[in-house]
Structure 1
Amino acid sequence: MRKVLMISALIAGLSGCATNSPYGNYSAAPAAHDKNMASDTVAHLVTMYPPARTRLNIMQPTEDAYGTALVALLRGRGYSVNEYAPEAAKKAQPATQAAFSPGVDLRYVVGSLAPAADLYRVTVVVGNQPISRAYIPQKNGTVAAAGSWARKE
């Protein structure tokens, strides 16, 4: 009995880890901070990927303030943005999925380092290329970059 209980607890624990998405907005930043960080993200993406020639496939729901601002700002700068649609991804076959969604996949994580430090961190993964930047909240209600963008080679 004890062995069965241990195995079922292990399976439940592993399945819980497998179903959690590592992408999204996990910070409690105000919407104005999210919009400022999204604006800075788009300004950096423009330097790496030409807007009129790049199609970005958002690979997660963008229901949070950062994601909503990011999609709007990307479109405003001239990117073709294919928003996340889980129904379409399930219906498309693996061989035909690339034909329906050409472009570069984009995912993001926005997190807070509180209570250890009053910092926000934005990580954007474009294709397989992660880029990150930290931000410090300012007293005037904005955020300032805590350093330059870091890109994993």
Structure 2
Amino acid sequence: MTQPYGSFIQNPSLAFSQYSKVMADDVADQIGRLYPAASTQFDMQHPASDPFGQALIDSLRMHGYAVQETVKPDNPLLAVVFPDLVDETDVQPQQIAQTETKPGLALRYIIDQSDNLYHVSILIDDQRLTRAFVDQSGQIQPAGLWVRRQLED
């Protein structure tokens, strides 16, 4: 069974973009305590097109992480903007070998909301980091400590 990932915020408030940045910065700070920046790459396992996902990618990059984004394959804009990005007949086998990168850590997230409480779960390979945030008087702040759990297959 495949679990859906991404944002499940229904009708986000006007402040949600600001809240997303605060929560994403907090996530990146926590990840920084667990994984070394500048030598860790994350591979997004789903599109991160919502405000939280974009803020998370930006924050991770600002903290020194490489992030490989997932793009929807049916995105017609890519075909229009980059129709001939690579002419495969011009690529030599040794060029391909030089550009291959080591796969990064699988990164997924789930963010949802109930009343003024936001729940953020970050999944990195077989680790789950979870924290709640509360919206009080127009400010978002942690509602508890980070919980770290090893996932089982």
1:112 maps to 2:126: no
**Alignment root-mean-square deviation, CA:** 1.8
> Equivalent residues in 2 for 1:1-150 (5 A)?
22-27=4-9, 28=12, 30-87=16-73, 102-114=103-115, 118-139=116-137, 141-150=138-147
Gaps of 5+ in 2: 74-99
Could you list the runs of 4 or more consecutive aligned residues of structure 1 that deviate by over 6 angstroms after TM superposition? none
Aligned length: 120
CA contact (8 A) 1:57 1:101 kept: no
- TM (norm. structure 1) is 0.72
Q: CA deviation at 1:135?
A: 0.5
CA distance, structure 1, for counterparts of residue 119 and residue 33 of structure 2:
20
Aligned to 1:93: none
Query: Could you tell me the percent identity over the aligned residues?
Result: 33
Structure 1 residue 103: deviation in Å? 1.2
Bigger share in helix: 1
Shift of 1:53: 1.1
SS in 1 for 2:25: helix
Aligned equivalents of 1:100, 1:85: Cα separation in 2: 18
- Secondary structure, in 3 states, of the residue corresponding to 2:38? helix
TM norm structure 2: 0.72
